[in-house]
């Protein structure tokens, strides 16, 4: 973490993809990032990550904006949309090309899957095109050379983390075969453009963080602070997601679900049951405590959407009350 990030005014963000309506898991991420920003007197920015246009669902972005407003999650400034920022990603990629840090790759996903060893997030690219395209191959994607020392960082919820990208991930894609810039590159460029100092998001992106830190270093960008929230899972132990058709949250009656998200994040319940969004946030803003958020604790939707009384102290990473 750089001293520059420590000394800057807090700027957080929420960055949903418009592939469907907000479900409970995405609401948890929005509530956590919003509460952390407001508790620290900071800005909370909104970014629509509509880079992957083939997966975008018509009307989803507007639905997300409506739902956030219904839950009292008001953002600062203009909304940034990735679909309008291809030039910025191309510029960053060109910088990496000039530095000799990337190379063209002609491999298909199927070929990689059959020849690669498995890593924490799937097949690890075996470096087939690292020293030049094999005969008869044409470029499909562009990959970053993962030649780097171990990436270490301290997450504000998960604690110290470490990863060897070359061993656990391999050379990763920055521009896909369909010409779309990859998430890892776009998110780094956009966080820098928006001046983000603190990223509070779901733990499903925890393994992506070292790749983003590596790109920040290569591009000369400031490293934000990170905090990864626990995930909401379904009864089969899978993360709630739009691809699994997780039920959208009810924007017409937001208070019960907002309270459930608040308790899911380990926060103390209001002394009386809240009935109004404005009253809840007036009470909650000064009472948010990141140290009460469970580390990598997954709960099922039935647990997450219940509103149980506070029956005792929360437990921290080492099993001690906090």
239 is catalytic: no
Tokens for 84, please give them.
């309008």
Closest by CA position to 64, among listed 55, 76, 73, 52: 73
- SS3 category, 304: helix
User: Could you say which of 23, 38, 143, 242 is catalytic?
Assistant: 242
The DSSP-derived string for 230-255 is: PPBB-TTSPBP-GGGTPPBP-TTSHH
Tokens for 215, please give them.
């790109």
Q: How distant, in Å, are the alpha carbons of 14, 41, 53, 120, 154 from that of 80?
A: 11, 21, 15, 31, 28
Q: Contact 259/274 with Cβ under 8 angstroms? A: yes
Query: What CA–CA distance (Å, rounded) separates 200 from 38?
Result: 12
Angle formed at CA 149 by CA 148 and CA 153, multiple of 5 degrees:
110
Residues labelled as active-site residues: 242
């Amino acid at each position: 973490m750089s001293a520059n990030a420590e000394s800057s005014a807090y700027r957080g963000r929420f960055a949903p993809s418009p592939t469907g309506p907000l479900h409970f898991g995405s609401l948890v991420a929005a509530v956590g990032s919003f509460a952390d920003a407001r508790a620290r007197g900071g800005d909370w920015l909104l970014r629509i990550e509509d880079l992957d246009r083939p997966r975008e669902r018509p009307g989803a972005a507007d639905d997300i904006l409506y739902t956030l407003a219904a839950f009292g999650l008001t953002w600062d400034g203009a909304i940034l949309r990735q679909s309008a920022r291809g030039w910025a990603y191309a510029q960053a990629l060109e910088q990496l090309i000039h530095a000799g840090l990337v190379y063209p790759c002609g491999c298909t996903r199927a070929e990689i899957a059959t020849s690669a060893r498995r890593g924490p997030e799937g097949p690890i690219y075996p470096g087939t095109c690292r020293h030049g395209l094999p005969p008869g191959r044409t470029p499909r994607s562009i990959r970053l050379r993962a030649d780097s020392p171990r990436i270490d960082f301290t997450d504000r919820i998960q604690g110290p983390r470490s990863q060897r990208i070359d061993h656990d991930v391999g050379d990763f894609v920055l521009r896909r075969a369909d010409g779309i810039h990859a998430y890892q590159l776009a998110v780094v460029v956009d966080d820098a453009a928006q001046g983000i100092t603190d990223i509070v998001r779901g733990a499903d992106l925890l393994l992506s963080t070292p790749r983003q830190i590596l790109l920040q270093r290569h591009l000369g960008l400031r490293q934000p602070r990170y905090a990864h929230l626990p995930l909401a899972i379904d009864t089969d132990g899978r993360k709630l997601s739009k691809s699994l058709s997780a039920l959208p949250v009810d924007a017409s009656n937001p208070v019960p679900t907002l309270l459930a998200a608040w308790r899911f994040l380990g926060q103390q319940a209001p002394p009386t049951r809240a009935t109004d969004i404005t009253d809840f946030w007036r009470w909650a803003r000064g009472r948010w405590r990141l140290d009460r958020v469970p580390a990598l604790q997954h709960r099922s939707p039935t647990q997450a959407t219940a509103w149980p009384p506070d029956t005792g102290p929360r437990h921290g990473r080492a099993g001690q009350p906090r």
